Amino acid sequence: MPISFLSSAKSAVIGLLILTGCAASCKRDGSKAAALNPASAAAAKAQFDVLRDSVDLKWRGMMDSDDQKMGVTRLLLRELRGQPGTDATQLQRLERANARLKTRRYNQQTMANSALIDQYDTAQDSLLHALYPVAAPNGAAGTENARNFVEGLQQLDAGVVGFRVQYDRAAKQYNDYLRLHQPELQSLGSRYSAAKPFPLFELQN
């Protein structure tokens, strides 16, 4: 075989290897650039903020409703103090139970312990079940104010499940996004890189 042909073939092989190496190197560099793409990180940040704001909004709405329930309970107890035949000692016990509720309430992190949710729900249910017969014996409230307060409490109490379903939906979307976009979020600072998934109530629609 002629020497010139071998040289040409050798040069072609070397050239092919160089081109292949360059292509692989470019591919690796391109992948790294995509992973660190500032536009991708900015998009991840914007979507994260939207989802986190949604979770916070649902939580505040749920807590505001619960606070309102405590406030209406307090107003109802005050209304009952002015009615004849009420047991002042019993009303004081109910007032103390209502005042303790907020200190017993779970938050977005501690609700990971479902027993805390159960304990809080039991304490609030026990208070309302003891209050309703005092406020409306045989289903008839003694004053129009008392009747309105009782109806308001019942409406607020009936809305609890709906608030929890809405919160779970928003928290699940946030948690899923957090899991899928960890690489982008890790480059955005501690607020994003240290973000943790939220516990859920796990209620079904």
Alpha-carbon distance 30 to 173, whole Å? 30
Are the CB atoms for 44 and 188 separated by under 8 Å? yes
Alpha-carbon distance 186 to 167, whole Å? 25
Q: What is the pLDDT of residue 203?
A: 61
Q: Which two tokens stand for residue 130?
A: 């003891």
**Cα 63–107–197 angle (5° rounding)?**
110
Q: What is the pLDDT of residue 78?
A: 96
Per-residue pLDDT of the chain (205 residues; tens, 9 = 90+): 444 433 444 444 334 434 444 344 433 343 343 344 555 777 888 889 999 999 999 999 999 999 999 999 999 999 999 888 889 999 999 999 999 999 999 999 999 999 999 999 999 999 999 999 999 988 888 899 999 999 999 999 999 999 999 999 999 999 999 998 888 888 887 788 889 999 999 865 4
Residue 110 DSSP code? G
pTM of the model: 0.78
Q: Which residue is it, tokens 């939580």?
A: 59
Contacts of 167 (CB under 8 A, 6+ apart): 55, 58, 59, 62, 201
